[in-house]
Amino acid sequence: MSERHKPIVIGVTGGSGSGKTSVSQSIYNFFPGKSIMMLEQDSYYKNQDHLSFEERLKTNYDHPFAFDTELLISHLNELLNYESIEKPVYDYTKHTRSNETIAQMPKDVIILEGILILEDARLRDLMDIKVYVDTDDDIRIIRRIKRDIEERGRTLDNVIDQYLQVVKPMHSQFIEPTKKYADIIIPEGGRNQVAIDLMTTKINTIFEERAM
């Protein structure tokens, strides 16, 4: 298969609550019926069956070691070769990988989304476009509080404690430094319609070129 027809990989990253998922979803939803897919890094948290439930609760989900990056790289390479994969499903209630998987067919455009996708050079090398969603810390913590209380049944104290103890220091140590690898930096995430329009225009050009 010629290089021209190799799938395009767009990496979208940013801190927790930055709006990276909104950006990814906005781009994806702009192309209904097109050969485009989402691949979430969150699906690739490591299997923790070998640990007790109490030990699993201590998992730092904002650290590179929390992810099965080898499997993600393997699956991405398979998709780049137009091979289907069985995407893992993570069970957040049990804090380990589910026995279920989701069959994912290859597509011409792959949106890879996650907090640490630019942290590993091997993953970066598989991306054609690297996007960093850059949002002020105050906005990110407010969004996280709102999400975790409304959607995950957490208490305010619990969310704030986790943010200060884990999320903020991990962001400073591992996520923020990956901004230097980005081709495009989008301020304020999903609310930045101009940036999203630029991305969709670029992707539309790719689809048009392949249709010729």
First to last CA, the chain: 17
CA distance 114 to 14: 7
13: in domain: yes
Amino acid identity at 110: I
Q: Which two tokens stand for residue 52?
A: 């007790």
Between CA 121 and CA 127, with CA 125 as vertex, the angle to 5 degrees is: 120
Cβ-contact 21, 135 below 8 angstroms = no
Rounded distance, CA 92 to CA 53, Å?
A: 11
Structural domain that includes position 111? 3-206
Q: Are 39 and 107 in contact (CB under 8 A)?
A: no
Q: Which residue has the tokens 């539309």?
A: 204
List, as one string, the DSSP characters of 23-56. Answer: HHHHHHHTSTTSSEEEEEGGGGBPP-TTS-HHHH
Name the pairing type of β-strands 8-14 and 85-91.
unpaired
| Whole-number Å distance between alpha carbons of 136 and 1 | 43
Asked if residue 22 lies in contact with residue 140, where contact means CB atoms within 8 angstroms, the answer is no
DSSP type of residue 47:
P
* Residue 123 belongs to a domain: yes
Neighbours of 210 (CB within 10 A): 13
Cα-based distances in Å from 27 to 46, 60, 103, 110, 198: 28, 29, 22, 11, 10
Number of domains composing the chain: 1
At 100-153, the pLDDT tens digits run 999 999 999 999 999 999 999 999 999 999 999 999 888 999 988 998 888 877
Which of the residues in the chain have pLDDT under 50? 1-3
Beta strands 96-104 and 85-91, pairing class: antiparallel
Give a yes or no: residue 211 inside a domain: no
Rg (CA), the chain: 17
65: tokens are 């070691």
User: What is the CATH number for 66?
Assistant: 3.40.50.300
* Assigned domain for 212 exists: no
